[in-house]
A and B are shown apart, each in its own frame.
Chain A
Amino acid sequence: MLEMQHVSKVYRTDTVETHALRDFSLLVADGEFVAISGPSGSGKTTFLNIAGLLEELSHGSYRLDGNDVGALGDDARSRIRNEKIGFIFQSFNLIPDLDVFDNVDVPLRYRGFRSDERKQRIEEALEQVGLTSRIRHLPSQLSGGQQQRVAIARALAGQPRFLLADEPTGNLDSEMADSVMALLEGINAAGTTIVMVTHDPELATRAHRIVHVLDGQVREPADHATAAAAPRPAAGLRAG
């Protein structure tokens, strides 16, 4: 599903050059649930941005769903983000002016779906996260957990094959975090590949596989018991 080979990302200013990723290689198989862990500043978010085609890599190669996406133009990257990738952010990233329905509608608008199809997908996604009763609420009228569920519904509405989650439970209490994780596990069980960045070792263990990132590099493989339960085998990992 996702294959990064010797990827590096360098941020440059006039005086400073920062290597956010160095020779970063990772293979994520179709249907896997991978947790990316590591301390702050280790490069987890940079990896997620590159994986989500939100940033361009400096060197190396990146294949997504069998296609080389490392050197695509803005339109093609946007189309892939829209059709194949779903995002879940720590801070939910809902648009505060729009109600729940319209927030979930955003990616579908850019997909060019007709009005009736969009409506059906939105309602199904909100039903999946248990928020049909909040359809005309603004984000400010929802709890943190509910907002994250809206974000998940937004990610699911386009039926992406690949879900990227950046600390999805970081702003939630443990009960809410548990329910969001259960939701993600259910989504993964339905066949969606998930890559989740997290600080929380306990949450990481709920993934099939944990990848430790330090100083912009994959440091060690960290298979654990649940890896055996992965729906698709052969999740490869290559240290940089």
Chain B
Amino acid sequence: MIRYYTRLAVLSLRQTPLLTGLMVGTIGVGIGVFMAALTVYYLMANNPISWKSERLYAVQLDSWDPAEPWDDERPELAPWELTWRDAMALRESDLPLRQAAMYKVSIVVQSEREGVKPFQTVARVTDGNFFALFDIPFVYGSAWDRAVDDAGQFQVVISRKMNEELFGGEDSVGRTVRIQDKPFVVAGVTETWNPVPKFYDVNNGPFDDAEEVFVPMGVGRALELYSAGNTNCWKDEEVRTYQQFLESECVWWQYWVELPDVAQRDAYQDYLDQYVSEQKTLGRFPRPLNNQLSNVAEWLDVRRVVRRDNQVLVVLSFLFLGVCLFNTIGLMLTKFLGKAPHIGIRRALGASRAAVFRQQLVEVGAIGVAGGIAGLCLAWLSLAGIRKLFPGYEELAQLDLTLVGTAIAASILTTLVAGLYPVRRVCATAPARYLRLQ
């Protein structure tokens, strides 16, 4: 019967194009607005490395000013980033399964390929462990090893996209690219990897694209690469040279560790506390002991990657959807009461109340599907507008299959809920009443 009901639904909806258009349009607007807000929220709230989220920890050490906390609103928090000295010291620990210190730099890249002009781009100075730590697959080659890091050898890992640009997509391992006018040997080419949000460095644009170029730890120092991200300092100290900058209390390094279980986590927490206690004896870390380890989910939460106004927007858009559905109830009531004589005829000819109910629900479902499609089109247009108007939202304002499915399901479900009252009202009336109206 479902095919029969569907045919009747299409026939019925075509009979009243204006009313059908109004119902579909109303639901479409509600779903479109809701889906646009939900899409941004959904991608903001995404955990891009959920399978490993419980094992990866961001490290925070409270090396901040004794006179005031890092965050006035949340004084319990330690700075998001570490000093160079602390990052280098933590690298000596063998407690974590994997670990990587890192910071963002701006570099100039020169290709050996003819016709490619030198260009400026952002890169990441980091440990060779960075790739295994975050499960980044390689197309060609592999990461550099610790010796390369320590020696500051000029090796580089580039993304698939950068490899296309510099080497036309060929296996470029062993070939040379000039960075900051120095020859760097390509050690590996990564598969496309662009986590949203950019959890490993939310301090410098949580929705920025991942870097396309990665260079070893020692390169930063060798080429005196300053941070192209946030650098925060509190201490009145002389910072004139790069070495002074490295030895300052300025924080600019992100630090991630992989700790497979709770025991290792606790052991590493003890290690951090012990390290800071030692540093206190040297006159550093003037604030109370406050070292924190946050796994990826906790980190995204504590960093408020999903802003409160986005949450409010989702709630408001949901309320707006409710208003649209409320209006749809009225339109459906008009539609179904107008068709009541036909329902009376069907009842007289042997349709049970349940059969008529099912038939009407299929029609409501068809309105829901059409409303969902209209809503998706509207959401797509809205998101295109957001991408155009707000730079940095390119990755956030994208519909994926999950969201498309959610939109259709939400539309059908909400329309069915809205349709229950009109359908029940029509079905509850004795058929003779409607036959008299004929």
Identify the A interface with B (CB < 8 A). Answer: 45, 49, 52, 54-56, 74-75, 78-79, 81-83, 87, 89, 91, 93-95, 97-98, 106-107, 109-111, 154, 158
Contacts of B1 in A (CB 8 A): 109
A-B contacts besides A56-B430, A78-B353, 11 pairs, CB < 8 Å? A54-B430, A87-B348, A93-B341, A93-B438, A94-B345, A95-B342, A97-B11, A97-B15, A106-B345, A109-B4, A158-B350
Q: A93-B345, A97-B15 known; A54 and B351 CB under 8 Å?
A: no
Complex Cα–Cα for A87 and B344 (A): 12
Given known pairs A54-B432, A93-B438, A97-B12, the reply for A78 and B352 (CB within 8 Å) is: yes
Q: Which residue of B lies closest to A110 (CB)?
A: B350
Chain B residues engaging chain A, CB cutoff 8 angstroms: 1, 4, 11-12, 15, 341-342, 345-355, 430-432, 435-436, 438
Residues from chain A with a CB closer than 8 A to the CB of B15 are: 97
In the assembled complex, the CB of B14 is this many whole angstroms from the nearest CB of chain A, namely 8
Minimum CB distance partner of B341 in chain A = A93
Instruction: Kindly list chain B residues whose C-beta atoms are within 8 Å of the C-beta of A98.
Output: 11
Ordered nearest first, which 8 A-B pairs have the shortest CB separation? Answer: A82-B350, A78-B352, A54-B432, A107-B349, A49-B432, A110-B350, A55-B432, A81-B350
Q: Kindly report which residue of chain A lies nearest to residue B431, judged by CB atoms.
A: A54
Most buried by A among B348, B432, B438: B348
Per the bound structure, the CA–CA distance linking A95 and B342 in Å amounts to: 6
Distance A79 CA – B341 CA, assembled complex (angstroms): 20
**Cβ–Cβ < 8 Å partners of A154 in chain B:** 349
Picked from A55, A81, A94, A106, the residue with its CB within 8 Å of the CB of B430 is A55
A83 touches B350 (CB 8 A): yes
Expressed in whole angstroms, the Cα–Cα distance for A52 and B349 within the complex equals: 10
Contact of B438 among A91, A106, A158 (CB under 8 A): A91
For residue A118, give the distance in angstroms from its CB to the closest CB of chain B: 11
Residue of chain B at shortest CB distance from A54: B432
Give every chain B residue within 8 A of A109 (Cβ-Cβ): 1, 4
- Cα-based distance from A93 to B342 in the complex (angstroms): 8
Complex Cα distance, B431 from A93, in Å, reads 12
What residues of A have a CB within 8 angstroms of the CB of B11 in the complex?
Answer: 97-98
Residues of B contacting A74 in the complex (Cβ-Cβ under 8 angstroms): 352-354
Q: Are A54 and B435 in contact (CB under 8 A)?
A: yes
User: Are A54 and B438 touching (Cβ within 8 A)?
Assistant: no
Q: How far is the CA of A98 from the CA of B345 in the complex (A)?
A: 13
Q: Can you sample 28 A-B contacts with CB below 8 Å? A: A49-B435, A54-B348, A54-B430, A54-B432, A74-B352, A78-B350, A78-B353, A79-B350, A79-B352, A81-B348, A82-B350, A87-B348, A87-B349, A93-B341, A93-B345, A93-B438, A97-B342, A98-B11, A106-B345, A106-B349, A107-B349, A109-B1, A109-B4, A110-B346, A110-B350, A110-B351, A110-B352, A111-B350
CA distance A125 to B436 in the complex (A): 26
Query: Considering the chains assembled together, what is the distance between the CA atoms of A91 and B434 in angstroms?
Result: 13
